[in-house]
Chain A
């Protein structure tokens, strides 16, 4: 399995609190992604990174920020969590060296905002 670790695996918190999710990879892959998955919507891209300090927005970026200060770590922050951000969050990586390079996913973080 690809060396991707997400932490925490589960979190319950209250509306209005800040939350940071961490994705750590040991594959030295260039690209890292954060998705959320909700019933009926499938996987939706929140933000992605194409290198250290290089990030861009995805389809559902409102209310989220990211940072990538080193190749192996990609952080997702909810500055002030809302109940609509209750979801399963997946981190993914891809090496970007050429076509037909797939993504590999972490185990996911189940986040509940009460």
Chain B
């Protein structure tokens, strides 16, 4: 079983829409959780960390459910510039990071 699983999409949504991505992880010992954004032919960039209480950064909201072992990312009021691949990342003790294969988002004018 993969450490981290994501729906690959693609998600095609109109500008202004709200879109949500989910990610599940298999190891209950996982300690830290992140969402990264990766543009085509570029490096992954940290979008936000995910905290147990949930956290928000502008139009982006991340949630963590440890009991069900899933992480979510909600994007409100989608912009064309949000088009990218979103990677779910889980970390464990010893700075071991595990990546999902990514969810592709295209925001359509």
* CB < 8 Å neighbour of A42 from B32, B42, B45, B87: B87
Known: A90-B44, A102-B46, A105-B45. A42 touches B31 (CB 8 A): no
The number of chain A residues with a CB under 8 A from chain B is 23
Size of chain B's interface in residues, with CB distance under 8 A?
Answer: 20
Taking a contact as CB atoms under 8 Å apart, the answer to whether B95 and A50 are in contact is yes
Which of B34, B94, B95 has the most A CB atoms < 10 Å from its CB? Answer: B95
CB of A31 within 8 A of chain B? yes
Q: Residues of A contacting B100 with CB < 8 Å?
A: 42
Residue of B nearest to A100 (CB): B32
A-B CB pair tally, cutoff 8 Å: 48
Q: Is the CB of B95 within 8 A of A31?
A: yes
Q: Could you tell me if A104 and B46 are in contact, using CB atoms closer than 8 angstroms?
A: yes
- Distance (whole angstroms) from the CB of B38 to the closest CB of chain A: 9
B32 and A105 within 8 A (CB) = no
- The answer to whether A99 and B44 have CB atoms under 8 Å apart is no
- B97 near A103 with CB under 8 A, answer yes
Q: Which residue in chain A gives the minimum CB-CB distance to B31?
A: A99
Instruction: Name the distance in Å between A98's Cβ and chain B's nearest Cβ.
Output: 9
**A interface, CB within 8 angstroms of B:** 31, 33, 40-43, 45, 48, 50, 90, 92, 94, 96, 99-108
